[in-house]
Amino acid sequence: MLPDLTLIIGGAASGKSNFAEGLVNVCGKSKIYLATAQAHDSEMTAKINRHQKSRGDGWHTVEAPLDLTHALDVVSASDVVLLDCATLWLSNHLLAETDLQAAQGSLLQSLTTCKAPVVVVTNEVGAGIVPENALARKFREAQGRLNQRLASHADLAVTVIAGLPLVLKGTLPT
């Protein structure tokens, strides 16, 4: 059994989405994929298509680039949710110039009250150099703070590096 909230964190192309999908696939519940990506160009369209193909059948996909609260509030206890990913969700809000604190507060509240177990995928972006422009620095700071908040609420937190999971908090289900 998955705990109520699982956080999977890693760098770009680290294997975090594949690992998260594996956790969800063995749950035995109806699988809901909360997609936050938006296909603004052909490269992102191709990436989304690759992810959909690798997931395979049996997933109900909900496009939620901004409003995760509603999507999380309508799931049932017979579901399991994969939110992929919090990084793109945050980027969408940052570019839409919404109130990040309010959006994050709503997200965390919905994760806390969600009837289904939720696996959240997010990127670790703070291990690199300090970005040269203000928007990138604002994003890096906001992502780091969101990741800390998610990790503090999570029952299980796992980092994935080179496809290998390392448990930071909690215990992997067997």
Pick the catalytic residue: 51, 70, 93, 153? 51
Query: How would DSSP label each residue in the chain?
Result: ---SEEEEEE-TTSSHHHHHHHHHHTS-SEEEEEE-----SHHHHHHHHHHHHHH-SSEEEEE-SS-HHHHHHT--TTEEEEEE-HHHHHHHHHHHT--HHHHHHHHHHHHHH-SS-EEEEEE--TTSPPPSSHHHHHHHHHHHHHHHHHHHH-SEEEEEETTEEEEEES----
Q: How high is the mean pLDDT in each 10-residue block of the chain (174 residues)?
A: 96 94 94 90 83 83 94 96 97 95 96 97 92 93 96 98 98 90
> Looking at residue 44, what is its pLDDT?
82
> Looking at residue 23, what is its pLDDT?
96
What is the model's pTM? 0.93
Q: Which domains does the chain have, with CATH numbers?
A: 5-169 (3.40.50.300)
Q: Are strands 156-161 and 164-169 parallel, antiparallel or unpaired?
A: antiparallel
For residue 70, indicate whether it is catalytic.
no
Q: CA 144 from chain center: how many Å? A: 14
